[in-house]
Structure 1
Amino acid sequence: MTISKFQETVNQFVLSKDQVQKIVDGMTEELVENITQQPSFITRLPTGKETGLYLAIDMGGTNLRTAAVHLLGDGQVGVTMEKHEITQELKTGTGEAMFNWIADCLASLLKIVAVDMGNADLHMGVTFSFAIHQTAINHGNVLAMGKGFDLPDVMGKDLKDLLQDSFKRKNLPIVVSAIINDTVGTLVSHAYVSPSTKIGVILATGTNAAYIERVSEVSKYNGPDCDQMILNTEWDAMGKAEYLPQTKYDKEIDAVSLVPGFQEFEKMVSGLYMGELVRLALVDMIEQKAIFEFLEGKVPESLQARLAFKTLFMSTIESENSSEHIAVKRVFKTSFGIEGLTAEDRIRVYDLIHAIGLRSAAMVAAACSALLYKANGRSVSLDDTNEITTIGIDGSVFEKYPHFSLSMMEALANILGKDRATRIRLELARDGGCIGAALVAMVSHHGGAV
């Protein structure tokens, strides 16, 4: 029987067991090569029993969040947080003006929480969503920032020094005790809630992961002796063409990206790109009259723009339980001005979206399996013990995409075997930026970092 053009397209996104295993093996090998990974200098996780008050800032491309994090023990936290927009004037001004502003934002927070520490310093953690060359738990030189920032006098400077100088100018008794990225923060913050957490994952517009590794396996670390360390994998940049099951649509996304051949794994699984895969496949099938035949092979202008089909539309369509798939009709009418979809068109759009969503979940599960194998050997520490391993995952794709967690668990069962997979927990992790930074400041303050 001849396979239709539509089914042929969908089948490209359906992964065989062998294809998934190649991803596991390929990423495990890249983890061994240690090319992208960055040591965090964090050598232990919180137990969930810690108490105390720690400050945190989370600096991204759009906003600065400041937080006072009260560790209450028993995995409980109380958070007082403020959010401040980073203006274009600040982004293109001087470094001194930027860091003075950050200090002012922290001073505002301290007034709200009415902290009275006497002569004691307040310890603070920093989540910094820009490239730095980290040299210690609380030191790192700022590299190119991007995201609209143009602060030449900041480049190459130690982030801790920049912050501490501003605190001195503003008479703030704050000590920078830790600098982390958001993935490390996700792992640490969720470990406080669930001490069995061994992996932290970000799965949103982009993706990354951190896990606990033996220091003997961290080739980029040359500091004091220790047994283990949280390792930032930068797995977004991992993935080689020889084992990634790229379709022609994946290759097209990569070809027109800012840096072709870079972050190929991320381009196949994350929120920025999943919707674009749907759009490219739809455009191809419309032109070949394999879907929306009433358009007679002509692609509407509304579907021609890059990134026009949002991953949010995929979530909306997969959220509907009705076999009529009315959400498909609504999305195309409201967002693209396309009417006249037949019942078969709606089913086909749903099937395409479902296949792309399932592929993302399977590939992320494969990557998580690679981390488990790398950290623990092929036993995954599950053969001789009933120990639970928790993976904390933050991000809109995991949180909001329908059935994503279930799809990941099904993929893990296929990769690890059902018995092993029952000892893996996938849990939503939130606010890793501020809570994670505060917790790492606590860990560092009490000697859990090098």
Structure 2
Amino acid sequence: MLIASQSIHFFFYHLGPRALQLHQTERRTAQGDHAAPGAELCRRASKWYVDCFDFSIFRRVNKAIFRFSEETAVVKMLPSFIRATSVGKESGEFLALDLGGSNFRVLLITLHGDGKKGEMRHVTYAVPQELQQGTGEHLFDHVANCLHNFMVEQRLSCNKTLPLGFTFSFPCQQKGLASASLVAWTKGFSASGVVGKDVVQLLTDACRRKNIAVNVVALVNDTVGTMLACSFFDPDCSIGLIVGTGSNACYMERLQNISKLNGLVSVNDGLPEEMCINCELGAFGDDGKIDKYRTVHDRKLDANSINPRKQTFEKMISGMYLGELVRLVLVELAEAGLLFSGSAVTSSAIGKQGSFSTRILSEVERYVLESEKPLHKIGLLLSDNGIASPSSTDCAVVAYVCSMISSRSSNLCAVAMATILQRINRKRVAIGVDGSLYKAHPTFKDLLSTKIEALTGGKYEFKLVLSEDGSGRGAAVAAAVAIRLAGAGVKK
């Protein structure tokens, strides 16, 4: 175990943000408590934080991402076959299916071509475990049956062919805009006869057995859907970002740069000479290229995860992991006698994996931002979560750690966004963003925007736009764009 001062220095190294502000709050409210991290430590932490985010990581991201011809690249850069974003003028009725877990949704979305939301009706259906783990035919028959029930409820003729956008949030090898084979099941699914098969064809066959006339015109994942949903309201949107339980990004790339298409798409087909790339950014670093930026807590979290040495970048960013990173830091401090008098280490409060959620982190950050007595409220929050009688200094340290973990997450996201902004090199860009962490965390958006601005030197006019329901509305917009391009056959 590291000794006390080494422990603090080690976990501050790569983490740090509003250190001095929180230290001042701590000093005002924690008089009489045991010694807290000093101003000199806060100053050093801030310096280490700045030094950590030098441009070396910027260069590493740039080098790692844009490797279209290398099948062994950890950042897969998958072609989505989406050839354009929305212009906000698409209109009509579109069905959407969103399948990615134990529940799935059927949606009917009406667009009026005016760049406004239009109408959306949807129903959520369960996917029982016996269907998740049964046969693929039974699974897709269930989806088709629910689609049939939805159409009857919405008084839609099952004989009227409506365009359908399909969000299928499992790893796929996409072969075309409406063709993708399942690489592997995740999230507890194991339905037989699906891996290696075209999931769009399986859905189409199931609908045919149910006598439903549908035309699946586009298959997307939630990240691509997020960008498309945003683009309907803002035509400048050409980047999508998910920062929730997981993390990912996509963007519009010039067609001539995507060598892995291997002739599947002609640059002379009359369509826009670009395509959306699904980065699968969470895997950045799986080859060890960013190990210098990982702390002992990152390594411990990774070792205890269900997928060691996988999704390295995601584990430093996403909502699934940030609370656990905070917990690991707090445990180390408590074991060193610097926090909670060591009493919380063996209890269920912070002693067990997963016992400090990212929701708690977001609440702590909200209290620091909005409350007149943040440490008092943080103390009540910690008490409600099993940490008995935390001192004011304990609460200040918890706030400090939450702040640093949050800022590192937003800054790493900013590095990725700045890299993509440089890549596409457009003067004005809207970035469509969705995800529970982005929406629930009180300062994430501001931290992200500030760091992107700093990294790009103000060269680009960008804005972050909340793009909700990319997996639903985004799928419908994907279908609408596909219909528009198929009918027009001209460049956007």
Could you tell me the TM-score, scaled by structure 2's length?
A: 0.84
Aligned to 2:479: 441
Aligned to 1:420: 459
Which residue identity is paired with 1:311?
T
CA offset at residue 328 of structure 1? 2.1
Structure 1 runs not aligned, ≥5 long: 383-387
Q: Does 1:302 align with 2:314?
A: no
Instruction: Calculate percent identity across the aligned residue pairs.
Output: 31
Aligned to 2:20: none
Q: Does 1:19 align with 2:19?
A: no
Q: Tell me the distance in 2 between the aligned counterparts of 1:401 and 1:262.
A: 25
Which residue identity is paired with 1:176?
V
CA offset at residue 4 of structure 1? 7.7
Aligned to 1:10: 12
Residues 187 and 199 in structure 1, CA contact (< 8 A), matched pair in contact too: yes
Residues 22 and 243 in structure 1, CA contact (< 8 A), matched pair in contact too: no
Aligned to 1:79: 120
Report Cα offsets for 1:106-125 as digits up to 9, x if no partner: 112212322358x6521111
Report Cα offsets for 1:172-200 as digits up to 9, x if no partner: 11111111111111111110011111100
**Residues matched between the structures, number:** 435
Cα distance change, pair 354–298 in 1 and its aligned pair in 2 (3 A):
closer
Runs ≥4 in structure 1, deviation > 4 angstroms?
2-5
Aligned to 1:385: none
Which residue identity is paired with 1:312?
R
Report Cα offsets for 1:82-140 as digits up to 9, x if no partner: 101111121122222211111111112212322358x6521111000111221110011
Q: What SS is found at the alignment partner of 2:459?
A: helix
From 189, 201, 204, the counterpart of 2:229: 189
Aligned to 1:104: 145
Aligned to 1:290: 338
Correspondence 1:90-101 to 2 at 5 A: 90-101=131-142
CA offset at residue 316 of structure 1? 0.9
Cα distance change, pair 294–40 in 1 and its aligned pair in 2 (3 A):
closer
Residues 243 and 319 in structure 2, CA contact (< 8 A), matched pair in contact too: yes
Q: Does 1:235 align with 2:274?
A: no
Q: What SS is found at the alignment partner of 1:390?
A: strand
Q: Tell me the distance in 2 between the aligned counterparts of 1:428 and 1:400.
A: 12
Cα distance change, pair 110–246 in 1 and its aligned pair in 2 (3 A):
same
Structure 2 runs not aligned, ≥5 long: 17-48, 268-272
CA offset at residue 359 of structure 1? 0.9
**Once structures 1 and 2 are overlaid, which stretch shifts more, 87-96 or 389-398?**
87-96
Residues 410 and 448 in structure 2, CA contact (< 8 A), matched pair in contact too: yes
Residues 348 and 355 in structure 2, CA contact (< 8 A), matched pair in contact too: no
Q: Tell me the distance in 2 between the aligned counterparts of 1:445 and 1:85.
A: 30
Q: Tell me the distance in 2 between the aligned counterparts of 1:294 and 1:138.
A: 56
Aligned to 1:327: 377
Aligned to 2:302: 254
CA offset at residue 340 of structure 1? 2.2
Correspondence 1:168-183 to 2 at 5 A: 168-183=208-223
Q: Tell me the distance in 1 between the aligned counterparts of 2:391 and 2:6.
A: 17
Could you tell me the TM-score, scaled by structure 1's length?
A: 0.92
Which residue identity is paired with 2:246?
G
What root-mean-square deviation, in Å, do the aligned CA atoms of Structure 1 and Structure 2 show? Answer: 2.1
Q: What SS is found at the alignment partner of 2:253?
A: strand
Q: Tell me the distance in 1 between the aligned counterparts of 2:307 and 2:10.
A: 29
Q: What SS is found at the alignment partner of 2:101?
A: coil
Q: What SS is found at the alignment partner of 2:184?
A: coil
CA offset at residue 3 of structure 1? 6.2
Correspondence 1:105-120 to 2 at 5 A: 105-116=146-157, 120=160
Residues 31 and 374 in structure 1, CA contact (< 8 A), matched pair in contact too: no
